[in-house]
Structure 1
Amino acid sequence: MHTIIQEFTENGKTYRIRTAEHQDAKELSEVRLQIDGETQYLDREQGEAFIDESGFEELIALDSENEKNLFLVALADGRIVGFSRCEGNSLKRFAHKAEFGVGITKEYWGYGIGKNLLNETIAWSEASGIRKITLKVLQQNSKAIALYEKLGFRKEGLLENDKQLADGQFHHTVIMGRFK
């Protein structure tokens, strides 16, 4: 099991990042549902691919046992306000890499939570022998792309007309990777 506990203070807000624990499952289900309704940058609309408490319990258990996976939560003001997950691959040809995803409640944007979740994931990946982290980001999410580039990610490809958002328009997805 991976244990990460760090405390950060940015823009006057103090928060902790730690490994997800079994008792986080119910709150994670609620927070994920909330985040999906606050932004169009993620893959799901609110309520789609819903994961309930028992689903998160299983996911947390799986990730705590798998050395190629990392599930982190960010806590502020006594509650979970964001999370990230990095999922590796057991196939030998892909065992060197993992895919990263992140979500932060809108109320807590601008406090460096996403950046610090990713920094903790990068440190974990390097210590775990994972050589490459990949992610997908909507092309119009320029702030996220700039952050990823600042942390060593490069644009590796573009999926044209990949997502149709609520505006009815199709949008491109950028594939990014960081190789050590």
Structure 2
Amino acid sequence: IKEEIIAIIKQYQKYFDSLVNDIELAMNIADKIFKHGMLLACICQHEVIGFCAFYANDLNSRVSFITLIAVNDKYQNIGMGKKILQKVCEISKKAGMDKIRLEVNDQNVNAISFYEKNGFYFEKKCSDNSKLMIKDL
């Protein structure tokens, strides 16, 4: 299964700036997801058309964290991302989480708009070029 996580991340590398040229980083993320996280994949005709890698295991803060989320270009703007996000929220809530958080690049206005439409709001600045967004479950 770890190999499948790696394959999905590699398939979607173009969607993630920091992973494009860093296979080692992608492998480390896949290893962490395999050991501690969850990967939700949407499959259509034996093809992964979208996925989300996330953690719903912090019972102290009760906050899930989305690490990666992407939808294949051919399936964007038809509600697939929203369905994936809704399922991740549902799984997180069942795991005892109260909130869900993610980090997004300040320049990624499409992603920020998508997250805001799905109930996320600005939490705090994370770095020079990214911010944390959070949603109540």
What is the CA–CA distance in structure 2 between the aligned matches of 1:129 and 1:91, rounded to whole Å? Answer: 7
Scaled by the length of structure 1, what TM-score is found? 0.61
Scaled by the length of structure 2, what TM-score is found? 0.77
Superposition pairs for residues 44-123 of structure 1, below 5 Å?
A: 44-46=19-21, 47-51=23-27, 55=31, 59=34, 62=35, 69-90=37-58, 92=60, 94=61, 96-101=62-67, 102-123=69-90
* Cα offset, 1:90, TM superposition: 4.1
Matched, 1:134 2:101: yes
* Cα offset, 1:114, TM superposition: 2.0
Percent identity, aligned pairs only, is 22
Segments of 5+ residues of structure 1 without an aligned counterpart are: 1-21, 64-68, 162-171
- Alpha-carbon deviations, 1:149-171, whole Å to 9, x = none? 1221111112342xxxxxxxxxx
The size of the alignment, in residue pairs, is 134
* Cα offset, 1:28, TM superposition: 3.4
* Cα offset, 1:71, TM superposition: 2.2
Aligned residue type for 2:18: D
* Runs of 4+, deviation exceeding 4 Å: none
Whose helix proportion is higher, 1 or 2? 2
